[in-house]
Amino acid sequence: MRFLLSVFLLAVVGWSDTVKALEVSWTNNLLTVAGAGLPGGKLEVWYLEAFCRSGAWGRDWRETTLPHRTTLTWADPQRHHLKFVTTVEPEIEVMHEIHAAKDELDLHFQLTNKGHQRVDLQWFEPACIRVAAFTGCEQSNYIARSFIFTERGMTTLEQLRRTTNALYLGGQVYLPGNIDARDANPRPICNDHPINGLIGSFSADNRWLLATASGRTHELFEGVYVCLHSDPRVDGLEPGETKKLRSKIYFLPNDVKALLQRYKRDFPDWQKVW
């Protein structure tokens, strides 16, 4: 019994050391999350990826995206806190920051229309999370170690009713039931709907999970760079209007129940927007 207790305490201490060691850095639109015990050694995230107009599903991607430019304005010397400003054409300013705290990244966004015309900014892709190193998988098989939540509970992506009909092939969009499919990413849309805003993966050794969520989910997305997305919905910005949104990236022991509890604590209004 003492031996088992010692092993358990060592595991807890090891995880505590891992999360305390998490650091974030950003250059050339690539966010790097590093930690001594992080599965794969580090995690790379394309941050920020795209800002999108409505009507995206049946249209060339270049006609959907609004040009944007991101600048790092401040970095904590300990690498636990980053601040940015992103300008999105025509006149949108996005102030955003990342806090690396324990076993998560906390992402806050404030979007303001500085112009005199309404801007059709329907949704955006803040974080293209590349999970190849974490899962130990490739594009061809990482869906077996990735999951969303459906009416059946936690469901790995290869178990879902996948489709292949879209303007761009590859990947899969998981669309909440309240989102118009015409506004979805122009990739195949799954016939199963998620019931919350979580999408994630299990580590190669099955000890840990990585998951991401946003407070106002437009879609969950499995991309073509061994990547996962939880993309927030904006619903346009009127002149002078400001909207605030939040996303999370979790790094947790492989405990799905604990992940759900964490999600519901962090996003208490998730059912109202679902």
Residue 274, domain member (yes or no): no
Residue 118, domain member (yes or no): yes
Counting the structural domains of the chain, the total is 1
Residue 273, domain member (yes or no): no
Residue 134, domain member (yes or no): yes
Residue 132, domain member (yes or no): yes
> What pLDDT, on the 0 to 100 scale, is given for residue 10?
41
Residue 113, domain member (yes or no): yes
> What pLDDT, on the 0 to 100 scale, is given for residue 66?
98
C-alpha angle 33-35-41 in degrees, rounded to nearest 5? 85
226: buried, middle or exposed (CB in 10 Å: 19+, 13-18, 0-12)?
buried
Rg (the chain; Cα; Å)? 19
Average pLDDT by stretches of 10, the chain with 274 residues: 40 46 92 89 96 97 98 97 98 98 94 98 98 96 98 97 96 96 98 97 97 96 97 98 98 97 94 74
Range of the domain at 237: 2-266
Cβ proximity of 126 and 106 under 8 Å? no
**Integer CA distances (angstroms), 26 to 23, 44, 211, 229, 254, in order:** 10, 10, 20, 18, 28
SS3 at position 14: helix
> What pLDDT, on the 0 to 100 scale, is given for residue 13?
45
Cut 0.85: pTM above it? yes
CATH number of the domain enclosing 103: 2.70.98
Residue 272, domain member (yes or no): no
Give the C-alpha separation, 142 to 202, whole Å. 10
Alpha helix ranges (H) inside the chain: 2-20, 61-64, 132-135, 256-266
- β 42-46/30-34 pair status: antiparallel
Beta bridge partners of 153: 150
Residue 271, domain member (yes or no): no
Start-to-end CA span in the chain (Å)? 46
